[in-house]
Amino acid sequence: MVNRIVGSIVLLLMLVVSVSEPAMAQKRKKRKKDNEEEKEVHIHIYDRDTLVQPIPLQRRYWHENKIDEFQKRADLSDGIEDQMIKVEDDTIFTRLLTEAIIEDVDQLQIMIENFPADSVGWDARTENNVKLLYLRAVAKMLRYYNVDPQPDGYYYKRLVNNMKDVLIADFENRLSDFIHNNINMYTLENIGELLDTGSADREFIYREMGKKEPVKMIEKLSEFATHSYACDIIAEAAKVAPNTVFNYATSTTYIRAVVERCPDPLVQAIVRIARYSKSPLRAMPFLNDIYTGKRTIYQIDEITSDPDLFYQNLVRLKLENVQLGGDTYTSELEYRGLRYVREMNDLHEEKAAVRFRSINGMPPEVLYFIMVYGQNEIYTSSFLGTFNRMVERLGPMSGDQLLEKVHRDKFRTFIRMCAGYNTLTDFLATMDTMKRMSIMKDFIADLEKGKQDDLEGAVDVADAFGSIRDTALADFLRNEVIQNYERCKRINSRKGIIIYGLLGVLFESTKSEEDLGGRLKLPPITMVPYDKLVTGKDKIVYEQFFFYGDEDGRASYNSWLTNFRDKSKWTVVKQPYWTTITATKGKPMVVYANMPLEEPEDEHAIDTLCKHLSAMGIQPTVMVHRGHSYHLPLTLERLQKETKIVMLGSCGGYHNLSTVLTKSPNANIISSKQTGAMSVNEPIIKSINDQISAGEDVNWINTWRGLTGYFDERRGVQKEMFDDYVPPHKNLGAIFIKAYRRLFNADI
């Protein structure tokens, strides 16, 4: 068996190499060659890079003053006009955006002008009007690109490729067939200038996209609200995004009337909640109860007025496995459950009888939901206390029966948390051997299901493995990864092949993180080069800290300032909305922090500082969140693609990791399994800044080795809290997301 596992891991490593960029380049060359042979007869029309005839004066304006200017603006986005859109530290995005926005758009302009009017019987006026229409479509696409704060290279490469196909199809008078065979967001975006708002083809793709992508389409409601098919799309969206429909139903715009007129029964149930509930936002999670007539709006208002009854009924919806409004009541379940988590956290110095009083009498399934949906804030000791009470209250029920009762909702998250808090063995001990093996098999299985960017389960698996100390269980999971990899090969699931290939590499490399980044074709994961942190001609490292206006935030800010009391090393300047700290020794470094003004002025302070930094052309490469997890979304909104070190100081769950890496693809993420602590955050920050001040690369292995020694001497609560922090080179979830995105999109 060992030899088989080792052999299979070699195979997995070969997978990673096989889908690397050079191999994809060969595929692109082959595909281009095949396309050239297939369409050789049209190569002079569609693929030439020179004009057949000069551009007439009446269209030159659109080329030079619109499209070329938009391209120039895109080119200058990196500060240099050099026919390259450079995305720092991301060669793939640099290549994709340069190809799409500069090279491919240049070729589109030539193709449009080279379309032969005589082959389709256009007179001079028709030719001019149609080609102007095509140019307007290209210009509109570029205009949207230039206002996109986080342009995705993969998206724009696909969008521009689709634009070429759309224009060719329209020129060949087969646009209708093309639309019917290419129902996707790219086609919908690109046909906007080519079809009248009332055309049958436009109606077709809007209706079909309403079925295929109702969440995305309902966000575009203003584009089609006045058309007959608007109600159909609203009705589809009500099934999966009822809160968005509710927001329209309570808006003050004309769209409110559009929703109210839609006769669909589910939409009308949402309208009734908006009109008649005393607390409509609280009532919305119970949409299914109202829609099916199970409860009246009056009865729901009675439930939501009692916090404990409210939470228990949210759990009821989960146990009933209600699908309608699942996202809505799940979000509410998470939010309401945090009340119990925060109370346990706040009472962490009290005796257990006092600390866990709020969850007295709660059945195990309710405690399960408190833990899995409170993952972002729950302290280690709060989790352990809740977990122990859950196990005690299982009675004759086994762990696998509990998971079945909760319909295995977030069961991978629960397994990952148990692994992280060293309770997995205790949980597995509540079931017999066969059930235990079945649960762990299912933990690894079917990770390829769902959309291509649905990675939460895989990230839970990656994170859990990093915490498993049971060698027999670890070997079992490795073997299951191999089995699933081979299964995905048989069914030709590209997503599955990549997921299980990456997990195989991660699982085999946990003892040698130094070469893990190299194996996964990623930038170094064990260090951040100093030259990647400096910006501008003056080579300054800029840092930005986010503080919030609650009591903890103000205390955290005041404690943080004490690190800069040495006037021989730092100059501190306070302004109404922010503090600027400048290093006077060592390498140039400037630290900005917003003032923790009383809520909601703290958000205004953050916004004012960010606008100042933007106006000054300052792009911080180190960003630190100093606040509770419920403040975290406000910090994450401010991340930039140039950010290289992100310290969350609180929850590092999948959705937060995904958000960070979407906005800052090359970020090294420091996170904690629980809310961050001043006594831990500040030594970590000091260690990072000492390396930066010396002009050294930030080396995570050495950093964590030194910090471990520092906290070992202190023991107690500080040591326990530090142990919950995850350094970038150990953050298997973040490493997995980076590698998956790079590999999945490598063949564009």
User: DSSP for 156-192?
Assistant: HHHHHHHHHHHHHHHHTT-HHHHHHH--SHHHHHHTT
pLDDT at residue 10 tops 80:
no
pLDDT at position 171: 95
Give 536's Cβ-side CA count (13 Å radius): 14
SS3 state at 560:
helix
pLDDT at residue 8 tops 60:
no
Q: Are 417 and 386 in contact (CB under 8 A)?
A: no
pLDDT at residue 434 tops 50:
yes
Q: Are 5 and 479 in contact (CB under 8 A)?
A: yes
Residue-wise pLDDT for 215-262, tens only, equals: 999 999 998 999 989 999 999 999 999 999 999 999 988 999 999 999
Question: Options 3.40.109, 3.60.21, 3.40.50, 1.10.3120; which CATH number does 527-744 get?
Answer: 3.40.50
Residue-wise pLDDT for 403-428, tens only, equals: 999 999 999 999 999 998 889 999 99
Arithmetic mean of pLDDT, 678-697: 91
In one-letter notation, the amino acid at residue 240 is V
Q: Would you state the structure tokens that stand for residue 476, as one six-digit string?
A: 């079992």
pLDDT at position 19: 44
Q: 534-538 — which CB contacts under 8 Å span 24+ positions?
A: 534/588, 534/621, 535/618, 535/619, 535/621, 535/642, 536/617, 538/588
Report whether the peptide linkage leading into residue 600 is cis, meaning its omega lies within 30 degrees of zero: yes
pLDDT at residue 655 tops 90:
no
Question: Count H helices, E strands: the chain?
Answer: 43, 11
pLDDT at residue 20 tops 70:
no
Q: Would you state the structure tokens that stand for residue 331, as one six-digit string?
A: 């979000």
CA distance 214 to 244: 11
Band of residue 16 on the pLDDT scale cut at 50, 70, 90: very low
CA distance 159 to 141: 9
Nearest residue to 564 via CA among 713, 697, 682: 682
pLDDT at position 198: 83
Q: Would you state the structure tokens that stand for residue 594, as one six-digit string?
A: 């917003």
pLDDT at position 13: 46
CA distance 497 to 486: 8
SS3 state at 662:
helix
Q: 395-404 — which CB contacts under 8 Å span 24+ positions?
A: 397/364, 398/430, 398/431, 398/432, 398/435, 399/427, 399/428, 399/430, 399/431, 399/435, 399/439, 400/431, 400/435, 400/436, 400/438, 400/439, 402/364, 402/365, 402/368, 403/439
pLDDT at residue 651 tops 90:
no
pLDDT at position 653: 64
Q: Are 98 and 71 in contact (CB under 8 A)?
A: no
The per-residue DSSP string of 272-308 comes to HHHHH-SSHHHHGGGHHHHHTTSS-HHHHHHHHTSHH
Band of residue 713 on the pLDDT scale cut at 50, 70, 90: confident
Q: Are 473 and 433 in contact (CB under 8 A)?
A: no
Residue 184 exposed, middle or buried by CB count within 10 Å (0-12, 13-18, 19+): middle
- The angle formed by the CA atoms of residues 139, 88 and 96, to the nearest 5 degrees, is 45
CA distance 388 to 381: 10
Distances in Å between the alpha carbon of 434 and those of 2, 295, 304, 400?
Answer: 22, 41, 42, 10
Band of residue 325 on the pLDDT scale cut at 50, 70, 90: confident
pLDDT at residue 720 tops 70:
yes
Residue 431 is classified by DSSP as S
pLDDT at position 88: 72
pLDDT at position 610: 94
CA distance 335 to 373: 8
Rounded to 10 degrees, the C-alpha dihedral 214/215/221/227 comes to: 0
Return left, alpha or beta for 321; rule: phi > 0 is left, psi -120 to 50 is alpha, else beta. Answer: left
Residue-range domain boundaries for the chain:
39-212, 230-298, 527-744
Band of residue 26 on the pLDDT scale cut at 50, 70, 90: very low
Q: Are 687 and 681 in contact (CB under 8 A)?
A: no
Nearest residue to 726 via CA among 704, 697, 694: 704
Kindly report the number of other CB atoms within 10 A of residue 685's CB atom.
Answer: 21
pLDDT at position 43: 52
Give the residue carrying structure tokens 């939409």.
267
**Average pLDDT across the chain, whole number:** 88
pLDDT at position 32: 44
Band of residue 62 on the pLDDT scale cut at 50, 70, 90: very high
Give the residue carrying structure tokens 């199809």.
169
Arithmetic mean of pLDDT, 617-635: 86
CB contact set of 333 (below 8 Å; sequence gap of 6+): 285, 311, 314, 315, 317, 318, 369, 373
Arithmetic mean of pLDDT, 179-205: 94
Residue-wise pLDDT for 193-213, tens only, equals: 999 888 999 999 999 999 999
pLDDT at position 22: 44
Band of residue 677 on the pLDDT scale cut at 50, 70, 90: confident
Q: Are 317 and 285 in contact (CB under 8 A)?
A: yes
pLDDT at position 17: 43
Helix (H) or strand (E) holding 670: strand 668-672
Helix (H) or strand (E) holding 515: none
**Percent of all residues in the chain with a pLDDT value above 70, rounded to a whole number:** 90
Arithmetic mean of pLDDT, 306-334: 92
Arithmetic mean of pLDDT, 544-566: 90
In one-letter notation, the amino acid at residue 343 is E
pTM over 0.95: no
Q: Encode burial over 442-478: b for 16+ CB neighbours within 10 A, e otherwise.
A: bbbeebbeeeeeebbbbbbbbbbbbbbeeeebeebbb
pLDDT at position 319: 96
Comparing 185 with 40, the larger pLDDT belongs to 185
Residue-wise pLDDT for 480-516, tens only, equals: 999 999 999 999 999 999 999 999 888 876 555 455 6
